[in-house]
Copies of this chain bind each other. A is one copy, B any other.
Amino acid sequence: MSAVKGVSAPVYFGSFLVTPQVISPSCGLNRLTHVETNLGPLSKQVFHQTPLSFALVNLKPILPGHVLVSSRRVVPRITDLTPAETSDLFLTVRRVGRMVERVYGAASLNIAVQDGVHAGQSVPHVHAHIIPRKPADLDPIDAVYGMLGGEDGDVGKALRETQTGRHTNSESPKKRTRFPVVDNEARKPRSAEEMQTEAEMLGREMEKEALD
What distance in Å separates the Cβ of A165 from its nearest Cβ neighbour in chain B?
28
Within 8 A of B (CB), among A109-125: 109-121
Contact of A177 among B82, B106, B143, B173 (CB under 8 A): B143
Residues of chain B with a CB closer than 8 A to A178's CB = 178
What distance in Å separates the Cβ of A93 from its nearest Cβ neighbour in chain B?
8
Residues of chain B with a CB closer than 8 A to A148's CB = 142, 145
- Say yes or no for A94: interface residue by CB 8 A criterion: yes
Q: What separation, in Å, do the CA atoms of A90 and B177 have in the docked complex?
A: 29
Q: Which residue of B lies closest to A78 (CB)?
A: B94
Residues of chain B with a CB closer than 8 A to A97's CB = 78-79, 115
- Say yes or no for A187: interface residue by CB 8 A criterion: no
The 7 closest A-B pairs by CB, nearest first: A145-B145, A108-B116, A142-B149, A108-B118, A108-B119, A87-B87, A90-B90
Decide: B120 and A175 in contact? CB cutoff 8 A.
no
What distance in Å separates the Cβ of A89 from its nearest Cβ neighbour in chain B?
8
Q: A107-B117, A140-B177 are in contact. List 15 more A-B contacts (CB 8 A).
A: A86-B90, A87-B87, A107-B118, A108-B119, A109-B113, A109-B116, A110-B119, A111-B113, A118-B133, A118-B141, A119-B131, A119-B144, A140-B146, A141-B149, A145-B148
